[in-house]
Amino acid sequence: MRKHTNTSSMIRIITYSCTAVILIVILILGLFGRIPFIPGVNWNFGGNYVNSEQYQIGPNELTVTDMTELEVNWMDGTITILPYDGTTVQFSETNAHNLAPKDQLHYLYKDGKLTIQYKGAKHFPFLFGSINGKGKSLEIKLPKSIAEHLNECSVDSVSSKIEISGIRTEKISLNTTSGDLKLRECITGTLSADSVSGSIQGKQVIVNEKMDVDTTSGNVILSGSIRGVEFDSVSGELNITSQVCPDQITTDTVSGKVTVSIPENDGFCYYKDTLSGKLQCDFSVTQEEDKGTYKNGKSEFSFHSLSGDITIKKAR
C-alpha cells in the first residue's frame, strides 16, 4: 500500500509540475503575446474571433426577452455581472482614456446569446496588451427575469477581477490567469472554474450537480449547498462549507490543504492517498487503513495529496 502511495504521489508531482509550466507559459503569452526569451518568435491566438464582422461597437442596452446565454472575453480591470429591476440588458465599460472605436468593447447578440469582447477583432487583447497600459472594467446588468433563467454564463479573462451575483443558470464557466473570482447568491447546475494564481470565493452558492475547480496556487473558499466537488491544485487550498453532504468529493493536490465542513448526514465513505498529509475527521467513522466509513457510506469522498492535510468537519 505504501509503495503504491509513493508511486502515485510522484506521478502527481510530475503531472502538476508540467501543468504549472504550461499555465505559466499561457500567462506569458497572455500578457506579452510572445515568448520573450525566444527572439523573433511570436505566439498568438489568431487575433480574431468567429463572426467578428457581425459585432457592434461600444456600450449599449438591449431590449430582449429571449436571452439565455452570456459569454464574456476580457483582459483586465473588473468584470461585474448582476441582476437589477430594469427591463433592458445593459453593459458599459470604464477606462481613464477616451477610447477609439477599435479599442471599445465589441458585442454580438444572436440566437439568445450575448457575447462581449474586450475590443476589436484585429486588436485582440491577448496580442497587444491592455488599452494604453491601463485596464478597463466591464459592468453587465441583467433584468431579473433573464438573470434567473440563464442556460449558461461563461467568462474568460487574463487578470480581471470577476464578480457575479444573483444569477440562476444551468452552467457557470470561469477562466482566469491571475484575477480573483467572486460569486454570491448564485444557483447553478454545474460550476467550472480554472485559475493559475487567482483566488475563488463564493458565498450562498448552490451547485445542484458538481463544481469542478482547477488552480495552481489559487485558494478556493466556497459556502452554500454543494452536491459534488472535484478539485485539482498544486499548492492551492480548498475550504468548502456545505449545507448538504455532497454525493461525491474528489481532490488532488500536492501541498494544498483540503477542509470540508458538512452537516450531520446519512453516511459517507472516504479514501485517502497521501505521502505525509494527515486526515482528521469529526465524524465517528469505522477506520480501515486509508479508508473510513460513516453510517451507510453512501457518499464517496476521495482525497489524494503529497503533503496536504485533509479535514472533514461536522457543521454545528
Task: Indicate if 95 and 115 belong to the same structural domain.
Answer: yes
Task: Indicate if 240 and 116 belong to the same structural domain.
Answer: no
Q: Mark out the alpha helices in 135-274 (DSSP H runs).
A: 144-147
Q: How would you write 93-152 as a 3-class SS string?
A: EECCCCCCHHHCCEEEEECCEEEEECCCHHHCHHHHCCECCECCEEEEEEEHHHHCCEEE
Cβ-contact 116, 95 below 8 angstroms: no
Task: Indicate if 187 and 137 belong to the same structural domain.
Answer: no
Radius of gyration of the CA atoms of the chain, in A = 22
Of the candidates 271, 299, 312, the one whose C-alpha atom is nearest the C-alpha of residue 4 is: 271
Task: Indicate whether 24 belongs to any domain.
Answer: no
Of the candidates 76, 66, 61, the one whose C-alpha atom is nearest the C-alpha of residue 31 is: 76
Task: Indicate if 199 and 306 belong to the same structural domain.
Answer: yes
Task: Indicate if 199 and 143 belong to the same structural domain.
Answer: no
Task: Indicate whether 315 belongs to any domain.
Answer: yes
Least confident segment among 90-94, 131-135, 190-194: 131-135
Instruction: Tell me the residue range of the domain where 235 lies.
Output: 180-316
Cβ-contact 120, 103 below 8 angstroms: yes
> Quick one: pLDDT at residue 130?
54
Distance CA 301, CA 305 (A): 13
Identify the band that residue 24 occupies on the pLDDT scale cut at 50, 70 and 90. low
Task: Indicate whether 219 belongs to any domain.
Answer: yes
Q: Looking at 155, 175, 195, which one is the last position of a domain?
A: 175
Task: Indicate if 188 and 142 belong to the same structural domain.
Answer: no
Task: Indicate if 67 and 149 belong to the same structural domain.
Answer: yes
- The pTM is what? 0.85
C-alpha cell at 277: 498529509
Task: Indicate whether 184 belongs to any domain.
Answer: yes
Task: Indicate whether 33 belongs to any domain.
Answer: no
Distance CA 164, CA 161 (A): 10
Task: Indicate if 190 and 313 belong to the same structural domain.
Answer: yes
Task: Indicate if 232 and 163 belong to the same structural domain.
Answer: no
What is the percent of the chain with per-residue pLDDT over 90, rounded to a whole number?
77
Query: 199-255, pLDDT tens digit by residue?
Result: 999 999 999 999 999 999 999 999 999 999 999 999 999 999 999 999 999 999 999
Task: Indicate whether 150 belongs to any domain.
Answer: yes
Task: Indicate if 138 and 205 belong to the same structural domain.
Answer: no
Task: Indicate whether 3 belongs to any domain.
Answer: no
Q: Looking at 160, 175, 190, which one is the last position of a domain?
A: 175
Residues whose CB is less than 8 angstroms from the CB of residue 308 and which lie 6 or more positions away in sequence, other chains included? 237, 253, 254, 255, 256, 257, 258, 274, 277
Task: Indicate whether 40 belongs to any domain.
Answer: no
Query: How many domains does the chain fold into?
Result: 2
Q: Is the pLDDT of residue 31 over 90?
A: no
Task: Indicate if 184 and 167 belong to the same structural domain.
Answer: no
Amino acid in the structure at residue 65: T
> CA angle, 152 as apex, 150 and 153 as ends, to 5°?
100
Task: Indicate if 184 and 307 belong to the same structural domain.
Answer: yes
Q: Are strands 286-288 and 291-295 parallel, antiparallel or unpaired?
A: antiparallel
Q: Hey, is 249 helix, strand or coil?
A: strand
> Quick one: pLDDT at residue 131?
54
Q: Looking at 146, 175, 204, which one is the last position of a domain?
A: 175
